[in-house]
Amino acid sequence: MDRMEELGFRSETDRQIFREAAAPVELSPFGLHSGMFVPTLERQGTPEQSRKWVPLGKSFKMIGTYAQTELGHGTFIRGLETTATFDPETQEFILDSPTLSSIKYWPGNVAKTVNHCLVMAQLYTQGKCHGTHLFLVQVRNMEDHTIMPGLEIGDIGPKLGFDGVDNGFMRFNKYRIPRMNMLMRYAKVLENGDYIKPKNAKLTYGAMVMIRVFIVMDAFKTLSRAAVIAVRYSAVRRQSELRPGGEEAQVMDYQTQQYKLFPLLATSYAFLLAAEGMSQIYAKISSDIERGNLEDMPQLHALACGLKAFCTWVACEGIEVCRMSCGGHGYSHASGIPKIYANIVGACTYEGENTVMMLQTARYLSKCYIRGQRGESLPELIQYLTTDLNVKSTLGEDCSFESLVAAYSHRAARMVAVACKLQQTNKKKGMAGHDAWNKSTVPFIAATKAHCHLFIVRNFVTILSQKKIDPATHNVLSQLCTLYAVYGIVENMGEFMQDGYFNQDQVSILNRKVLALLEDIRPNAVALVDAFDYPDHLLQSCLGRYDGQVYEALYEYSKSSPLNNTDIHSSYYNYIRPMMQKRSESKNISAKL
């Protein structure tokens, strides 16, 4: 913190970039404090509460996290069992974990790091439950960091990754906190126990929406880092003869290697622009919400859910492709890619399990489809739902941006219509609403992915058509944008072709175009990854280092393996030699028999 003051970092974004540079792969043990705990105090606390607590948080005099998930519930927030019961006699809330399944489980940094938590609990006052609300809870003694009486806290044990975060469990036993520790910006409990309800119960979910927006940027960061490593390594690695008798080829000259990596390079650029677009939309709508205008809250929720799920799924699949494209060395921690994967793949689960998030967006699309069918106006991002589905593609050899965006709009509109019609058919068959919904959720997931894909393609095209970019750069970025869109069509051709939107000639054009673009991008591939400007210490990769000295780095890395600290490992004396001696003794015996 002091270092950031010295460096004059004022904005939270700059501070976050500095933190990530300091702890480039594992999330910092203070990531949740800065990224979730403090911003939630700012956004969900009253002005008085913010004035009191935010400075303590920003100066790390109070270190916190966000404790919502329980052993028995993570997705279904309304099913959370931790209770906060108001005691008007003492002006306190009594926090309790009434069941085993109600134990808080997973909250990051709760095990050993933090001294406070924002706890999501079912609020009870005057004998009535008012649903989940957030409470600021001190969990450790501020003098000696011991656990506060009435709490049981511990670490949940080893995980796939996320090793920089001590995810923990926390059990409350009639633990008392002051009434004013309930975050009361939107809902309140008065001294007499009266409950003042919020304009919208989902305002309490605001912290999650904010983090989902951040996670879209994380999807870009992690995929682009893996792409940098894999593309640079593919330029250095020579393997096999492309020309019989010739020198071994750079693996980046194999068309298959290009088809693996260049679409992921294009996706990295697309996700960066999508994350920036998402952040701008979040900034605008969240400030409207803070001013009391909740009109666009459903649109923000739907977009944040959809993009968080879509981008993390695609990024994780892409990081694995990057790892495998590096052969054996990609499997080593020396490549840096396994750690990137292990630390981002949790994002498909945390902050809203991806399928559940996609279904939230699907639910929004279903409602918008019905409004569109009634001729009601729709938000700009959703207006494609009223596309005339009888129109066929005008795509030509040039694969123009206009024809590509039209294709993605048509595909998403058609798939949303298919899912909605199935839902309506289910209802007409007499199914209850929840069954009609559940029995159409698989097509809705596919449609929502198409909806998110359209957002990303359209956003990329819009930025290229609006931003002033020098012609040479614009040309290369246009190649990337076209590759991202054409590759997406080729890889999902069935969804674009199902209603004959493309004719056979257009399909051939697209298949030729994707291969031609690989050749167009090849000369600029290394420059395009260098443009992300990730320093070597952040990539932590022998394969992706800027100077390309891969084998030297691998050799030094291997020599530094702890197993090389001794020539003969203790396991020889403890196990191997006794085993061999036993074998030779038994052999002597059998020879004598």
Ligand X SMILES: Cc1cc2nc3c(=O)[nH]c(=O)nc-3n(C[C@H](O)[C@H](O)[C@H](O)COP(=O)(O)OP(=O)(O)OC[C@H]3O[C@@H](n4cnc5c(N)ncnc54)[C@H](O)[C@@H]3O)c2cc1C
Ligand Y SMILES: CCCCCCCC/C=C\CCCCC/C=C/C(=O)SCCNC(=O)CCNC(=O)[C@H](O)C(C)(C)COP(=O)(O)OP(=O)(O)OC[C@H]1O[C@@H](n2cnc3c(N)ncnc32)[C@H](O)[C@@H]1OP(=O)(O)O
Q: Which residues are annotated as a binding site for FAD?
A: 69, 108
Contact 369, 379 (CB under 8 A): no
Cα R_g (the chain), whole angstroms: 28
Taken in order 42, 47, 49, 52, is the CA torsion positive or negative?
A: positive
Of 90-98, 225-233, 349-357, 432-440, the window that binds ligand Y (rule: CB under 6 A) is: 349-357
CA distance 386 to 373: 7
DSSP for 498-549, please give it. Answer: TTT-S-HHHHHHHHHHHHHHHHHHGGGHHHHHHTT---HHHH--SSS-TT--
| Binding of residue 96 to ligand Y (CB under 6 A) | no
Angle at alpha carbon of residue 295, lines to 294 and 296, rounded to 5°: 95
CA distance 364 to 307: 14
CA distance 110 to 71: 14
Burial of 557 from C-beta contacts in 10 A (0-12 / 13-18 / 19+): middle
What mask of x and - would describe binding to ligand Y in positions 102 to 121, judged by CB under 6 A? ------x-------------
* Residue 74 beta carbon to ligand Y: minimum distance, rounded to whole angstroms: 6
| Binding of residue 214 to ligand Y (CB under 6 A) | yes
End-to-end CA distance of the chain: 76
Q: Which residues bind ligand X (CB under 6 A)?
A: 32, 65-69, 73-75, 106-108, 162, 167, 346, 349-350, 352-353, 355-356, 359
Residues within window 247-306 making contact with ligand Y, judged by CB under 6 A: 297-298, 301
In the DSSP assignment, the letter for residue 180 is G
* Residue 108 beta carbon to ligand X: minimum distance, rounded to whole angstroms: 4
| Binding of residue 205 to ligand Y (CB under 6 A) | yes
| Binding of residue 168 to ligand Y (CB under 6 A) | no
Nearer to ligand X, 233 or 437 (CB): 437
CA distance 242 to 233: 18
Query: Could you say which of 172, 350, 484, 502 contacts ligand Y (CB under 6 A)?
Result: 350
| Binding of residue 219 to ligand Y (CB under 6 A) | no
Binding partner selected for residue 584 from ligand Y, ligand X, none, CB under the kind-specific 5 to 8 Å limit: none
SS (H, E, C) 267-289: HHHHHHHHHHHHHHHHHHHHHHH
Nearer to ligand Y, 208 or 514 (CB): 208
The strand pairing partners of 138, in sequence order, are 116
Binding partner selected for residue 78 from ligand Y, ligand X, none, CB under the kind-specific 5 to 8 Å limit: ligand Y
Nearer to ligand Y, 301 or 329 (CB): 301
| Binding of residue 456 to ligand Y (CB under 6 A) | no
Query: In this structure, which amino acid lies at residue 169?
Result: F
CA distance 502 to 432: 37
CA distance 41 to 46: 9
519 is catalytic: no
Of 153-161, 205-213, 224-232, 487-495, the window that binds ligand Y (rule: CB under 6 A) is: 205-213
Name the residue with tokens 């993570």: 74
Nearer to ligand Y, 179 or 308 (CB): 308
Q: CB neighbours (10 Å) of residue 178?
A: 12
* Residue 4 beta carbon to ligand X: minimum distance, rounded to whole angstroms: 23
* Residue 454 beta carbon to ligand X: minimum distance, rounded to whole angstroms: 23
CA distance 344 to 350: 10
CA distance 93 to 119: 12
In the DSSP assignment, the letter for residue 181 is G
* Residue 221 beta carbon to ligand Y: minimum distance, rounded to whole angstroms: 10
Nearer to ligand Y, 289 or 395 (CB): 289
N residues, the chain: 593
CA distance 449 to 412: 8
Nearer to ligand X, 195 or 350 (CB): 350
Task: Please give the size of the binding site for ligand Y, defined by CB under 6 A.
Answer: 33
* Residue 341 beta carbon to ligand Y: minimum distance, rounded to whole angstroms: 15
Binding partner selected for residue 77 from ligand Y, ligand X, none, CB under the kind-specific 5 to 8 Å limit: ligand Y
Residue 101 contacts by C-beta under 8 Å, 6 or more apart in sequence?
70, 71, 72, 73, 81
Q: Which pair of structure tokens corresponds to residue 436?
A: 């009609």
Binding partner selected for residue 360 from ligand Y, ligand X, none, CB under the kind-specific 5 to 8 Å limit: ligand Y
Nearer to ligand Y, 27 or 137 (CB): 27
Binding partner selected for residue 355 from ligand X, ligand Y, none, CB under the kind-specific 5 to 8 Å limit: ligand X
Nearer to ligand X, 222 or 459 (CB): 222
CA distance 299 to 544: 39
CA distance 523 to 342: 31
Give the nearest residue (CB) to ligand X: 74
DSSP for 377-394, please give it. Answer: ---GGGGGGG--TTPPP-
Choose, from 42, 351, 380, 495, the residue flagged as catalytic. 351
| Binding of residue 363 to ligand Y (CB under 6 A) | yes
| Binding of residue 78 to ligand Y (CB under 6 A) | yes
Of 31-39, 475-483, 503-511, 557-565, the window that binds ligand Y (rule: CB under 6 A) is: 31-39
| Binding of residue 438 to ligand Y (CB under 6 A) | no
Query: Could you say which of 1, 21, 61, 75 contacts ligand Y (CB under 6 A)?
Result: 75
Applying CB under 6 A, the residues found at the interface with ligand Y are 12-13, 16, 27, 31-32, 35, 66, 68-69, 74-78, 108, 202, 205, 208-209, 211, 214-215, 218, 297-298, 301, 350-352, 356, 360, 363
Catalytic residues, by residue number, are 351
